[in-house]
Amino acid sequence: MDEPGPVEASQCVAVVREAGFCFVHAETMRPALERFATLSDWAMFAASWDALGPDPYLERTGRARRRRHGVFRWAEGTLTREPHQPHFQSLAYNRLQGDVDRWFDPIVPEVGDSASLRAVLGFSCEFFGALAPEVSAWRIEVHQFRIEARSDAAGEPTPEGVHRDGVDYVLVLMVDRANIASGTTTIHSADGTLLGSFTLHDPLDAALVDDARVFHGVTPVTPVDAAKPAHRDVLVVTLKRE
């Protein structure tokens, strides 16, 4: 399946409403984000992925990734950070690690308070709010993920396979990719039919997903040069109505 061409920002809500997902190129995402806050601290924001801790729950399955996690709440136009708490998914949505309270290292304050993250969260609340105008409050979970690939083991961005997250909406934002091949985001119907695919390549490339309607996954990543470090850094934001 050919990767989609650029979608204008003004079209994205309609595309998600019709198809259940939309892929957005960085040149469209940047001005959309900058409507909410400056991205002047993006270099600090992106560098924070170098300080992610290991995912201890995934290590038990013989797999590896690094992550941090934070919870926010949006209500009546106000965004607040909630106390640190576990991430939970039922087995219905995560057959690999479901029905477990998973505690991850918290997103550090300078990242949680950064203009770049505020821009992403402001955009997410407005964009997905346009798809669900009846919602007055959102529970927002923010995940920093680093998937590392080695010459002897491909990195698995979605080790649970093609899945839903058990929320209302999902934003996946590319932060950095270094020395990797593949890592293609795929969207599927409930019967497994491939509906679309797109490789998040440049910083700020994004996937916008209606999680209640479609499934998503990401193909494994492998090093281009086996002698050098290889990683895929993404920010995942989920919104669930209260």
pLDDT in tens, 136-175: 999 999 999 999 988 887 887 777 788 899 999 999 999 9
The pLDDT value recorded for residue 153 is 79
Strand partners, 52: none
CB 139 within 8 A of CB 242: yes
Phi and psi for 183 in degrees, rounded to 5? Answer: 75, 45
Q: What is the pTM of this model?
A: 0.92
Task: Report the range of poorest mean pLDDT among 72-86, 89-103, 123-137, 169-183.
Answer: 89-103
d(CA 223, CA 231) in angstroms, rounded, equals: 8
Q: Kind and range of the H or E element at 34?
A: helix 26-34
Strand bridging mode 180-182 / 221-223: antiparallel
Domains and CATH numbers, the chain: 9-241 (2.60.120.620)
Q: Give the pLDDT confidence score for residue 90 in this predicted structure.
A: 55
3-state SS class at 70: strand
- In contact, 207 and 237? CB cutoff 8 Å: no
Alpha carbons 59 and 54: distance in angstroms, whole number: 8
The stretch 224-230 carries a mean pLDDT of 94
Neighbours of 88 (CB within 10 A): 15
Q: Which residues contact 235 (CB under 8 A, 6 or more apart)?
A: 117, 120, 142, 143, 144, 145, 171, 172, 173, 175
* CA–CA dist 45, 35 (Å, integer): 18
- SS3 call for 138: strand
Instruction: Give the distance, in angstroms, between the CA of residue 198 and the centroid of all CA atoms in the same chain.
Output: 14
Helices within 68-147 (DSSP H only): 109-112, 115-131
**Which of these, 110, 107, 122, 143, lies nearest to 41 by C-alpha position?**
110
* Range from 20-34, 89-103, 113-127 carrying the lowest mean pLDDT: 89-103
Mean pLDDT of 52-65: 70
What is the tens place of the pLDDT at every residue in 192-206? 999 999 999 999 999
- Say what the pLDDT of residue 62 is: 43
Average pLDDT, the chain: 90
Q: What pLDDT score does 158 carry?
A: 72
Q: Could you give the CA distance from residue 186 to residue 188 in angstroms, rounded to a whole number?
A: 7
